[in-house]
């Protein structure tokens, strides 16, 4: 049955009524819901694996590595830490507030949350965010991507069999349904997807002054810098793995590689060898190689590859029937070309040569563009690497590694600027779905009249002396 504005409105109203019952405020109750979610994921592991294969062609190992396993890890971390995270903070009120001694900061849920998840990691980026929402004590309406239909169906079944609709529910449909959701008055919105749609989400949320977290891909893509002193074989191995993963449809994936021209030929040959080693000479025929999400994504990838066909040094072939398009190296590419000023979200890999002694100029050019979600550098020069990683504007990244920063427990996953706002994972997710509320407990005895009128007269000097003493 198709969703209508009225239907979605009723869902939100029912969830608001459930939230106001106060049930979700109990931390032990939240822990029970998280354990139910974990049990449901484990029980339906095979169903989720099949859904990911149907939507994205992901092998069982990749499905577990990138979607299912991280959800379980996220829930485990949240269960272990939630009581500590949710504990009210006690602060000394200070002399200025005397006779009050203590002030309490509570971490309170927002209320009814809206989670809009993408197609590329439909399990992780739905249930991972849901974990944070549950931990914070919120209810949740989940709008899944219409592109990953099999995963949506699996998620709908999992959620419906685990939670009541007035607590958590999955809403499916296209952009029209998403807009119906955004037209409602939610208390918190978490969106994962493109910067263009992120702007739209922000605009709609502004109508109700709803706080928003955005996890975006970055409009000019994520850079990987390979210096001339890098371990070329190691860099090629890791870059190839990452570009193969989910056929490049990853928000933190390498969009383009900048390689020192002194080692460019050697690097290119090493990268070709790694692609062949990992997925064979005809990856489009390898059933373990993921596919693009739909015909439109495939056609877009193929069309862009066709524009650069004269510079393709590896790949460039595909099978529209299976929607598998080979990892494709395009070399050389100038830093001012359009292909390195957009998020590709496909297996194309532009390679930009630069002079190693001009690397600082390269970094300035990157810094002048919109901030990426991720950045990667390969080099033996740790002083330079640490300087770059501590001064550039980006969400997260690695030195001599790729992507696995997002797998580290206890650290935030976030963007900056056009790559997003807000953060989640572990305690950071709990913080994202709660707001601090400060409550001072007053006293009825020993109240001083310092803050009260009159401020002039015989007690003026004494009041001023005491006030200045309190400042210290």
State whether residue 249 is helix, strand or coil. coil
CB 37 within 8 A of CB 134: yes
- Does residue 211 sit in the same domain as residue 239? no
Q: For residue 51, is it within any domain?
A: yes
- Does residue 143 sit in the same domain as residue 292? no
Single out the catalytic residue among 215, 274, 284, 432.
215
- Does residue 210 sit in the same domain as residue 227? no
- Does residue 260 sit in the same domain as residue 396? yes
- Does residue 164 sit in the same domain as residue 243? no
- Does residue 53 sit in the same domain as residue 22? yes
- Does residue 98 sit in the same domain as residue 247? no
Q: What is the pLDDT of residue 460?
A: 83
Q: Is 343 a catalytic residue?
A: no
Q: For residue 465, is it within any domain?
A: no
- Does residue 44 sit in the same domain as residue 144? yes
Single out the catalytic residue among 181, 251, 301, 398.
251
In degrees and rounded to multiples of 5, residue 191 shows phi and psi of -120, 135
- Tokens (6 digits) for 347: 């297996």
CA end-to-end span of the chain: 66
Q: Are strands 312-314 and 348-354 parallel, antiparallel or unpaired?
A: unpaired
- Does residue 81 sit in the same domain as residue 201? yes
Q: For residue 141, is it within any domain?
A: yes
In degrees and rounded to multiples of 5, residue 64 shows phi and psi of -75, -40
- Does residue 150 sit in the same domain as residue 236? no
CB 59 within 8 A of CB 245: no
Q: For residue 180, is it within any domain?
A: yes
Q: What is the DSSP string of 136-199?
A: HT-EEEEE--SS-HHHHHHHHHHHHHHS-TTTEEEE--SHHHHHHHHTS--SEEEEEE-HHHHH
Q: For residue 454, is it within any domain?
A: no
Q: What is the pLDDT of residue 471?
A: 63
Torsion sign over Cα 308, 311, 317, 323: negative
Q: What is the pLDDT of residue 452?
A: 78
List all residues 6 or more positions away from 303 whose beta carbon is below 8 Å from its beta carbon. none
Q: Over its length of 472 residues, how does the chain's per-residue pLDDT go in tens digits?
A: 689 999 999 999 999 999 999 999 999 999 999 999 999 999 999 999 999 999 999 999 999 999 999 999 999 999 999 999 999 999 998 877 878 889 999 999 999 999 999 999 999 999 999 999 999 999 999 999 999 999 999 999 999 999 999 999 999 999 999 999 999 999 999 999 999 999 999 999 999 999 999 999 888 899 999 999 999 999 999 999 999 999 999 999 999 999 999 999 999 999 999 999 999 999 999 999 999 999 999 999 999 999 999 999 999 999 999 999 999 999 999 999 999 999 999 999 999 999 999 999 999 999 999 999 999 999 999 999 999 999 999 999 999 999 999 999 899 999 999 999 999 999 999 999 999 999 999 988 877 777 778 878 877 887 788 777 766 6
Structural domains counted in the chain:
2
Residue 234's domain is classified under what CATH number?
A: 3.40.309.10
- Does residue 190 sit in the same domain as residue 284? no
- Tokens (6 digits) for 49: 């694996």
Q: Is 398 a catalytic residue?
A: no
Q: What is the pLDDT of residue 455?
A: 79
Q: For residue 469, is it within any domain?
A: no
Question: Buried (b) or exposed (e) across 342-357, using 16+ Cβ within 10 A?
Answer: ebbbbbbbbbbbbebe
Q: Are strands 374-378 and 222-226 parallel, antiparallel or unpaired?
A: parallel
Residue 87's domain is classified under what CATH number?
A: 3.40.605.10
Which structural domain range is residue 254 located in?
222-369+374-411
- Does residue 80 sit in the same domain as residue 130? yes
Identify the CA nearest to 163 among candidates 182, 186, 138, 183. Answer: 138
Q: For residue 148, is it within any domain?
A: yes
185 to each of 10, 140, 171, 182, how far by Cα in Å?
A: 12, 13, 16, 8
Q: What is the pLDDT of residue 138?
A: 99
Q: What is the pLDDT of residue 459?
A: 76
Q: For residue 64, is it within any domain?
A: yes
């Amino acid at each position: 049955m198709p969703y209508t504005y009225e239907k979605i409105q009723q869902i939100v109203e029912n969830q608001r009524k459930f939230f106001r019952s106060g049930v979700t405020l109990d931390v032990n109750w939240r822990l029970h819901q998280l354990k139910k979610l974990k049990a449901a994921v484990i029980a339906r592991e095979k169903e989720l694996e099949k859904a990911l294969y149907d939507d994205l062609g992901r092998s069982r190992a990749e499905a577990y590595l990138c979607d299912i396993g991280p959800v379980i890890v996220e829930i485990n971390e949240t269960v272990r830490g939630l009581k500590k995270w949710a504990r009210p903070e006690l602060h000394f009120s200070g002399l200025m507030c005397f006779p009050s001694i203590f002030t309490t900061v509570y971490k309170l849920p927002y209320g009814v949350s809206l989670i809009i998840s993408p197609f590329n990691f439909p399990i992780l980026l739905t249930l991972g965010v849901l974990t944070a929402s549950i931990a914070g004590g919120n209810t949740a309406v989940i709008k899944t991507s219409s592109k990953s239909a099999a995963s949506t169906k699996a998620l709908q079944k999992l959620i419906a069999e685990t939670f009541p609709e007035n607590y958590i529910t999955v809403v499916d449909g296209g952009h029209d349904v998403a807009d119906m959701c955004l037209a409602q008055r939610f208390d918190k919105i978490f969106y994962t997807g493109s910067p263009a749609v992120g702007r739209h989400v922000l605009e709609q949320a502004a109508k109700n002054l709803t706080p928003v977290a955005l996890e975006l891909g970055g409009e000019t893509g994520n850079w990987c810098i390979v210096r001339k002193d890098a371990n070329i074989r190691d860099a090629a191995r890791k870059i190839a793995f990452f570009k193969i993963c989910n056929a490049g449809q990853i928000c933190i994936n390498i969009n383009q590689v900048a390689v020192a021209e002194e080692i460019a030929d050697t690097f290119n040959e090493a990268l070709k060898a790694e692609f062949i080693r990992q997925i064979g000479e005809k990856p489009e025929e390898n059933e373990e190689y993921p596919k693009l999400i739909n015909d439109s994504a495939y056609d877009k990838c193929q069309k862009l590859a066709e524009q650069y066909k004269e510079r393709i040094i590896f790949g460039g072939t595909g099978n529209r029937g299976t929607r598998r398009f080979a990892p494709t190296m395009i070399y050389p590419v100038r830093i001012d070309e359009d292909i390195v000023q957009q998020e590709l979200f496909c297996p194309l890999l532009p390679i930009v040569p630069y002079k190693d002694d001009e690397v600082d100029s390269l970094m300035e050019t990157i810094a002048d563009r919109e901030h990426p979600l991720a950045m990667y550098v390969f080099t033996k020069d740790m002083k330079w690497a640490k300087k770059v990683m501590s001064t550039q504007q980006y969400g997260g990244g690695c030195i001599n590694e790729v992507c696995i920063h997002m797998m580290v427990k206890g650290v935030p996953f976030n963007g900056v600027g056009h790559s997003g706002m807000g953060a989640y994972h572990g305690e950071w997710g709990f913080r994202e779905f709660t707001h601090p509320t400060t409550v001072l407990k007053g006293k009825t005895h020993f109240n001083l009249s310092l803050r009260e009128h009159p401020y002039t007269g015989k007690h003026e000097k004494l009041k001023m002396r005491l006030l200045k003493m309190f400042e210290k």
